[in-house]
Every structure is written in C-alpha cells, then in structure tokens.
Structure 1
C-alpha cells in the first residue's frame, strides 16, 4: 500500500513540476512565475515526504518542513518585490 501511494505521489509531483516549468516559460506575468516557483517548492516537499515513506526515515520529514518554511518566506518576499516593482498591476482600485 505504501509503495502504491509513494508511486502516485512521485508521479503527481513530476506532473506538477512539468506543468510549473511550462508556466515559468510561458507565464505572461510575474505573478504566474511566482506561483510556478511555489509549485516547485510544493513538489519538493512532496518528494521529500515520498522519500521518507520509502526509506522509513524521519530525516526527510525534517527536510520537508524546512523546505516548506523557506518556500513560504521566499514566496512572500517575491510577492512584495513584484508589488513594489509595479504597484498599479499588483493592486486593484480600492474604494
């Protein structure tokens, strides 16, 4: 059962990586590219969890937690950078 779940997790992560790669290349806006980078990080977390399941070692879960934390902070940083670069594009008119 764990082998089947791990295989499904790896296949789904690789599919997400392929789609995110297309979004990075084609993405018309910087926000699309930021979301694609966030998908890369989420796929990395999923692959670390899959490695933990396959090897029955918890060290990979520590890696997954670290990746998630760094990814969150990085996404916030990139979003603020894009917002400061073009504030009219990042915010809509507020009443």
Structure 2
C-alpha cells in the first residue's frame, strides 16, 4: 500500500513541478516568477522527503531541512531585491 502512495506522491509532485516550471517561464511578472521558484523549492523538498521514505534513509530529511532554509533565504533576498533594487545595504 505504501508503494502506491509513494508512486502517487511522486507523480503529483512531478506534475506540480512541471506546472511551476511553466509559470516560471511564462509568468506575467517578476513577482509571479519569484512565487513559482519558491513553490518549486517546496515541491523539491517534498520529493526529497518521499525519496527518503522510499529509500528508508534518515539523511534525506536533513537535506530537506537544509534546502528549506536556503530556499527561504533565497526568497527573502529576491523579494528584497524586487522592492529596493539592492540586497545588501
């Protein structure tokens, strides 16, 4: 039963990544592209967690946590650049 759930999860996250990639390239504005990139980071975190469950690995959860922190900092930096035009003051 867990195999079916993992297959569905991988498929759903793969479809979500494809739709986010489309929004990243065809987004009407810069803010939409930033949101798409942030959502892609969240989807990749989900894929890493699913891969950890499928492979019975505990280190993938640590990798997902590190990617979450880096993704948050990246989103904040992009948003600050969008608002002020400069990241470091």
TM-score (normalizing by structure 2): 0.89
**Which whole-Å CA distance do the structure 1 matches of 2:75 and 2:5 have between them?**
28
**Structure 2: runs of 5 or more not aligned:** none
Match of 2:35 in 1: 35
* Residue 58 of structure 1 pairs with residue 58 of structure 2: yes
Secondary structure of 2:24's partner?
A: helix
**Which whole-Å CA distance do the structure 2 matches of 1:72 and 1:26 have between them?**
23
**Structure 1: runs of 5 or more not aligned:** 86-95
Secondary structure of 1:57's partner?
A: coil
Secondary structure of 2:28's partner?
A: coil
**Which whole-Å CA distance do the structure 2 matches of 1:67 and 1:42 have between them?**
9
Secondary structure of 1:45's partner?
A: helix
TM-score (normalizing by structure 1): 0.84
The answer as to whether partners of 1:2 and 1:53 remain within 8 angstroms in 2 is no
| Higher gyration radius (CA) | 1
List 4+ stretches of structure 1 deviating above 3 A: none
